[in-house]
Structure 1
Amino acid sequence: MWNFSRLAPAAAFGQTERKNKNMGYSQGLYEREVIIRFSDADSEANLYTASPVWIRKFDKLVAEHPENFREVKKETYQGKVIAKDYTFPKRFLSVRTKDIKRNLTDEQRKEISDQMKTMRAKRKTDSMP
């Protein structure tokens, strides 16, 4: 069993609670956790998160790939979503063993930069009413 009472308060590390405009209440950095669970017996993994960033990421995956990603549970507080549980195929999990560093030429960098500029401009015009 974990004993969290010995952890230093977030304020001791300069990490004060922040009000999340989407969640409607203050949540400390230690409370915005992401937990991934799986076992050898199952083919699916479970992800629990109280992190708004991960909630947005997985909501997008659920919308784009409902055959693989499912929202299982939603926790709310005063009508606002504060945490969610998701399931997805365990085969989608991977762990990197090192940082990948690309050695690009100036020409390759410019080509990638131009592609990103084009993509951002297209996204901007697509989102306009």
Structure 2
Amino acid sequence: MNIHTQNRPEWKYHLNTEYIYIDFSGLNSDKDILNQIEMAVAMGLERPDKSVRALVHFKGARTNPGTTRQMAILGKMVQPKIKKSVLVGSSDFLSLLVKVYTSQTGSKIKFFTDMSVALEYLTSN
């Protein structure tokens, strides 16, 4: 699947609170996944420290260990900008990905299986 047919990272609002929505749904190409991350990181780096709320939708995406390590490197770059972040999806792979990512970045990203619950958490103070 081509990144151009997927949703690019975008700023959205929920209850007057801005967040970046990063959609990896269905991506299986490591190149597409890394392109998506690089775009999101660039967008986040433009913002003040501790101001970015991020919702990452990772349902049905697959990646390999090398790409996961690269995700962690990019995530660590943007970590000072992050106020709150959530990952939405459902699989054993995702729970492993969250463990690897948090151990390598220091992120406090929360894992959810329900998008509406994740949005409520993300946009609450």
TM beyond 0.5: no
How does the TM-score come out when normalised to structure 1? 0.27
Q: Which structure has more helix as a fraction of its residues?
A: 2
TM-score by length of 2: 0.27
Which structure exhibits the higher relative contact order, with contacts defined as CA atoms closer than 8 Å and separated by 6 or more residues? 2
